[in-house]
Amino acid sequence: MIIGLLRVFAITCAAFACGKLVSKAKLPAILGWLIAGIALGPYLAGVVTTNIITAFWYKIFIKFFECFAGVMIGREIILKKIAASGKQIIGITLIQSIGTFFIVSAVFALVFFIAELPLYLAFIFGGIALATAPAPALSIVNEYKTKGPVTNTLIPLAALDDVIGVIVFFTVISTVNGRNGSFQTSMLTIIGMIVLPFLLGILTGLFAAFLIKRTNRNWQRLLIFLLFLCTAAIAGLLIDRYVFHSFCLNYLLIGMAFSATVANYLPEKDIEDTLTLYQPLLGPSLVIVIVNLGMPLDYRLIAGAGLFTAIYIFSRACGKIGGAYLGGKLTHAAPTVTKYLGFTLLPHSGVSLIFTGIAVSSLTEIDASLASIVSGTIAAAAIINEIIAVILAKFAFKWAGELN
């Protein structure tokens, strides 16, 4: 474990340096972090091996930092500020999420009909494509201090999008499993995976805010903030361990719900002062989370990427960009939101790989060849899409005039 931690520390330092180099070329630092994760991960240099990233201690380590990174989302969700545009955000989220699911499913239904493959496989691709990984786009928000309508819409939308993604994907996979006589995920489990991260974050956030409000020193506020944030993460780990028996909860959402609760309960100046002291922890947390997204990506799969991968990347992009455009038009959003929001929603490697693992596990019991189609297509798409998506996300903020 000690050697493993040293290796993780080494790859994090290398990623930070790589991010600095990439930013010199006026590209987002996150691109350097991803490249470092891929290059120094188990499939190339092997600084961090497969044994390390599959170890129990490493998974716990990552979950804590995901929770720490989620604070960045929650601190911007001030209910008074977004109340006026709440319906608009919900409308855009629903239209682009469900739109992406139907577009990807429809395109693959046609492809699989021609290829004489089971049509239910198309809906699995649609369920995986719906998910958005908020960390990449939000790391650009943090790096460039973006401000404006696109940023304000993206932050709460990222949380809602994850919820819809879980509902749709698990509904699809349960239906496919039930149709083929396999184990069916219970609705109670799906509800728990959606509700529990918010519940844990809100409850611990209320206790933290209650104590923070009664202290006058910033370092004491930070200490209470960190103590209860870690408590929320530990509670999530215990539920995963003893209820779900696997890492099912979304720890970004736990951190988000926690910081949003604190931010809405405290006076604005108090939370600003506390989060200014928290910033040195947020930066490394983002680096570690993004490097972790890059490490499982096998660069060799790019050479094996075929027609299914190209179709998946293109149809998903059409769904996200087109859905956000249509949602923006129908909800009368700002012109920049309508035009450019969709480009910030393209990253999704972390969430897509989790969904892919679940889908492959289910399909292996039905037909191993179908499982290999899903795993090969999404794994190759994750590498290609993530690099392209990060660059496009940065340019989307630039086109919207929100880069600082």
Could you report the per-residue pLDDT of 29-55, keeping only the tens digit for each? Answer: 888 888 888 888 888 888 888 888 888
Question: What tokens does 392 get?
Answer: 């496009």
**pTM attached to this predicted model:** 0.79
Q: CA-to-CA distance for 86 and 92, rounded, in angstroms? A: 10
- Does the pLDDT value for residue 185 go beyond 60? no
Residue 84 has pLDDT above 80, yes or no: no
Rounded CA-CA distance 325/209 in Å is 38
Answer whether residue 181 shows pLDDT above 80.
Answer: no
Alpha-carbon distance of 30 to 14, in angstroms, equals 13
Nearest residue to 286 via CA among 346, 350, 234: 350
The residues spanned by each domain of the chain are 2-399
| Rounded Cα distance, 186 and 122, in Å | 22
Q: Please give the Cα distance from 217 to 214 (Å, whole number).
A: 10
Helix (H, G, I), strand (E, B) or coil at 321: helix
More confident: 150 or 137: 150
- DSSP annotation of 208 reads H
Q: Give 186's pLDDT tier (boundaries 50, 70, 90).
A: low
CB atoms within 10 A of CB 368: 10
Looking at the predicted structure, is the pLDDT value of residue 172 above 90?
Answer: no
Secondary structure of residue 403 in the 3-state scheme: coil
DSSP of 161-227 = HHHHHHHHHHHHHHHHHHHTT-----HHHHHHHHHHHHHHHHHHHHHHHHHHTT---HHHHHHHHHH
Q: Tokens at residue 370, please?
A: 């179908």
The pLDDT-based confidence of 254 (bands split at 50, 70, 90) is very high
Q: What is the pLDDT of residue 301?
A: 64
Q: Please report, for residues 80, 217, 346, the alpha-carbon distance to residue 130 in angstroms, rounded to integers and kept in the order given.
A: 29, 44, 10
Q: How confident is the model at residue 176 (pLDDT cuts 50, 70, 90)?
A: confident
d(CA 110, CA 89): 32
CA 387 to chain centre: 15
- Tell me the mean pLDDT in the region 11-29: 86
Cα-based distances in Å from 369 to 74, 118, 126, 304: 41, 11, 19, 16
Domain 2-399: give its CATH code: 1.20.1530.20
pLDDT in tens, 304-358: 567 888 899 999 999 999 999 999 999 888 999 999 999 998 887 667 777 887 7
